[in-house]
Amino acid sequence: MANVIIFTDRAPKTMLLPGTGVGASSYNYPAGSYKIASVVRNLGLEALVVNNCFSLTFKGVQEIINNNKDDLLWVGIGSTLMFVRSNMFDEYRTQWHNSNESTIDLDPIFGGSGGSADSRTFSNKSAATEMVWSTGEIERLSKYCEDLNAPLLIGGSWVTYMRNGNFGTIHKNTHLIKGYAEQYVKEFTLEKIKDPTSSPPYIVSNSNYDSQEFKESSILYSKHDLISPENWLPLEIARGCAFNCAYCNFDHRNSRDSYKNTTALREELLRNYEEYGVTSYMLVDDLYNDSKTKIRDLYDNVWSKLPFDVEWVGYMRLDMFWADPESIEIVKASGARMGSFGIETLHNKAGAKVGKGLGKERILETLHALKEKWGDEVLVASNFIAGLPYEDRESIQETIDWSANTDLLFSSQWSPLWITPPEHYNIVTEESLTNLAKDPDKWEIKWISPGNWINSAGLTFEEVDKMCVEARAKMPDDMKMIRSIFGFFDYADLRSVGMTHRQIVDKRYGRLDPKVLYNINRKIQQRVEQRLEYWLQVKV
Ligand code: SF4
């Protein structure tokens, strides 16, 4: 019987165009919940991670808990990726509470034709971003767990970024863990074994995680995670980011944390290869190429020392490649297949003022160098922000047009500059605010109405939001089709069910037979259904 059950999921594929509403599920593995499960597993206990929980009704959730209630210590929710922007929550929650089935078909609810909002822009005013399992669902789950003497522990960014007061109505059996959860989960699990009546405080806050312990740590999978050799698993190499971009709300920015011990990393990769045949990874760190030493050390002591051809995808920065051109080849030889780059702007002043100061000329120079050395073997996924300080409409439009037509980029995703409005300050924590939100005057940004700012070039949030919708319409067809590949999580999702790198490149250039994509999409749905079927009956 499972000692711990953790429910988690990630935002469905709501980037579909209206009329293409298929494939709302994601397939890959969210790192955080598996890391917490590893803490439990390392104590010699059983942890079951249910990682497509959006597809369960309350009836399904009860079945999974009931099947494993005898030795249950606590139940968890990993909230980090459980936010969705949609106008269909009422429909979802009605089914969640009332259905006589164990599962919900997400396609009509969060898929494109179900009326869900465009997840990448804010133009649909009726849509909101919410935790899919909100207070009503958590309350019901919490009461259910209370009857089994199992506290409900919620961790992840929903908890970390929201002010404590917003949880005032949550049931007393619910406990919140803000920040890093590893150490507390270990302490509490041991305590609960000793004293079954023990209960955590309402809120626990951990902003530190022992650096040495992190460097030696890894994710420990179990047979109940249903891993197959095709899977692309998450891998943590470092925590923290040395940069401090003005628009970024990553709470560990501006902190250079050292990366994991290479022996521990190599052992993690070897274990996953030997036990599950896995050779592919999503690096979930905020930045892979933040140091010359790190890139070389990881190549010398991890990637090149494996008895299999490893492939991986991760976040990268162009300026680091510009400063260290040799690293372009090293990253390719290390097994990279896609880098997601926040290019943000080609406007020199805007870039320099927000922490992306490479400038247009050197950005293009570096992209050409990447194309020359990587060809289509390592793909460049790019993100842009419309509305950065000092950038005007003409400059943004020029970059949108360029990004839609250049072969230097595999994909381009445009988002309007989001600044938390002052009206939200009573909801969110200080750590969740970007530097721009904390001090908009410094970047000459003014609030002109609730939720709408204006920059010094005269552009408002509402205008750039519309520009982003129009930018999407300009992108090549392959970026508008089902299963659009905007970044490396999308890439890994598709590779995890058997789509090849070549087919993904062919999709980009409009050469892929649509049947391939249709079949891959069906395969994701089938795999998710198979997983749910397994989790609904397994007694761990
Ligand atoms: S945007 Fe990326 S590089 Fe900049 S601070 Fe945030 S995580 Fe670091």
Q: Which overall architecture, per CATH, does domain 4-212+522-530 show?
A: 3-Layer(aba) Sandwich (3.40)
Residue 356 CA, ligand 1 centroid: distance in Å: 9
- The reported pTM is 0.92
Q: What's the CA-to-centroid distance between 344 and ligand 1, angstroms?
A: 11
Least confident of 3-17, 183-197, 232-246, 372-386: 3-17
**DSSP label at residue 335:** T
Residue that is written with structure tokens 């050779």 in the block: 279
Say how far apart CA 69 and CA 144 lie, in whole Å. 11
Helix (H) or strand (E) holding 386: strand 379-386
Q: What are the start and end residues of each CATH 3.20.20 domain in the chain?
A: 231-496
- Mind listing the pLDDT tens digit for each residue in 270-289? 999 999 999 999 999 889 99
Query: Which has the minimum average pLDDT: 57-66, 495-504, 521-530?
Result: 521-530
Mean pLDDT of the chain: 88
Residue 420 · residue 433 · CB < 8 Å: yes
Residue range 231-496 in CATH 3.20.20: yes
CA of 468 to the centre of ligand 1 (A): 21
Q: Cα–Cα distances in Å, from 304 out to 9, 315, 320, 336?
A: 33, 20, 22, 12
- Nearest protein CA to atom 7 of ligand 1, as residue: 286
User: Best substitution site from 284, 287, 431 to test ligand 1's pocket, by max atoms within 8 Å of Cβ?
Assistant: 287
In the chain, where does the domain assigned CATH 3.40.50.2300 lie?
Answer: 4-212+522-530
The amino acid that residue 96 corresponds to is: W
Ligand 1 centroid to residue 62 C-alpha, Å: 40
Nearest CA, atom 3, ligand 1: 243
Q: What is the mean pLDDT of residues 41-69?
A: 97
pLDDT at position 20 is 38
The distance from CA 159 to its chain's CA centroid, rounded to whole angstroms, is 16
Phi first, then psi: give them for residue 5, nearest 5 degrees.
-120, 130
Q: Ligand 1 — pocket residues by CB below 6 A?
A: 241, 243-245, 248, 250, 253, 286-287, 342, 355
417-426 core/surface letters (b: 16 or more CB in 10 A; e: else): bbbbeeeeee
Give the C-alpha separation, 172 to 142, whole Å. 8
- Of 116, 58, 63, nearest to 87 by C-alpha is 116
For the chain, state the CA radius of gyration: 23
Identify the bridge partners of residue 282 per DSSP, sorted by sequence position: 234, 313
Best residue among 244, 250, 436 to mutate for probing ligand 1, ranked by most atoms within 8 Å of CB: 250
Ligand 1 centre and the CA of 30: distance in Å? Answer: 20
At residue 131, what are phi and psi to the nearest 5 degrees?
A: -70, 130
